[in-house]
Amino acid sequence: MDDKVLSCVNCGSHSCKERDDRFPNFCPTVEFDDERVGVIVDALKTDETLKNIALTSAEVEGQFYGKLSRVEETIEYIKRGGYKNIGIATCIGLINETRTLMKIFDRYGVNSYAVCCKVGGVDKSDIGVPDEHKLNRGKEHETMCNPILQAKVLEERQTDFNIIMGLCVGHDSLFSMHSKAPVTTLVVKDRVLAHNPVAALYTSDTIYSRFK
Ligand code: SF4
């Protein structure tokens, strides 16, 4: 670690959590003085969109900590945040899970609309993906994922809160960058570990020791 800039993973105190003044000298809490932090706090108190997100997420965390699954927490968040029209940007590989989610939403009175990653049907060649980087190695048409179009479709549907269901790494970035509505992720894609990427970290001393 000698040549690396120290960060929060190198901290032994985690003093930011209790605010007990044992901050290490590389601590970003010390680096960002009260004035700069104050700008953020002011924004969270005055900007209605930010305020709603911050207070609603704190409310769900505070009331249901360790009691609800992420699906249930998402429903609570939607209801308490006052969102009326939920957009879902789904991977085509998770379309069945998205269908199940929407049935659950229906049961809870949550209105939702889903758009699949392959929307638009644009061939990967159209954006310059070389044949050797296609799943079919260029033998025939291969539709690219189009997260920007997913974001545009949901914007046209005037969704006020969007959910990512298993978009690929990077495609989720494009979607988040272009979504008009706030975004949360319900499912993170991991094609090997049943969409549970943290399993590779939990088992990094055993099965996934190849990381070392
Ligand atoms: S913010 Fe500061 S006190 Fe908190 S974990 Fe990071 S280095 Fe430690």
Instruction: For the chain, give every domain's residue range.
Output: 1-31, 83-211
For residue 11, which atom of ligand 1 is closest to its CA?
Answer: 8
C-alpha–C-alpha distance, residues 132 and 164, integer Å:
28
Length in residues, the chain: 212
- What is the per-residue pLDDT for 9? 97
Reading the chain (212 residues) residue by residue, the pLDDT tens digits are 457 899 999 999 999 999 998 999 999 999 999 999 999 999 999 999 999 999 999 999 999 999 999 999 999 999 999 999 999 999 999 999 999 999 999 999 999 999 999 999 999 999 999 999 999 999 999 999 999 999 999 999 999 999 999 999 999 999 999 999 999 999 999 999 999 999 999 999 998 888 77
CATH architecture classification, 83-211 = 3-Layer(aba) Sandwich (3.40)
Under 8 Å between Cβ of 70 and 101 = no
State which H helix or E strand residue 165 sits in. Answer: strand 161-165
C-alpha–C-alpha distance, residues 113 and 106, integer Å:
11
C-alpha–C-alpha distance, residues 176 and 102, integer Å:
21
- What is the per-residue pLDDT for 180? 98
Query: 6 CB under 6 A from ligand 1?
Result: no
Query: 130 CB under 6 A from ligand 1?
Result: no
- What is the per-residue pLDDT for 2? 55
- What is the per-residue pLDDT for 113? 98
Give the start-end residues of each E strand in the chain: 86-90, 112-116, 161-165, 183-187
At 77, list the tokens.
């968040």
Strands across the sheet with 183-187, in order? 112-116, 86-90, 161-165, 183-187
C-alpha–C-alpha distance, residues 85 and 116, integer Å:
17
C-alpha–C-alpha distance, residues 47 and 37, integer Å:
15
Could you tell me the distance, in angstroms and rounded to a whole number, from the CA of residue 146 to the centre of ligand 1? 38
Query: 15 CB under 6 A from ligand 1?
Result: yes
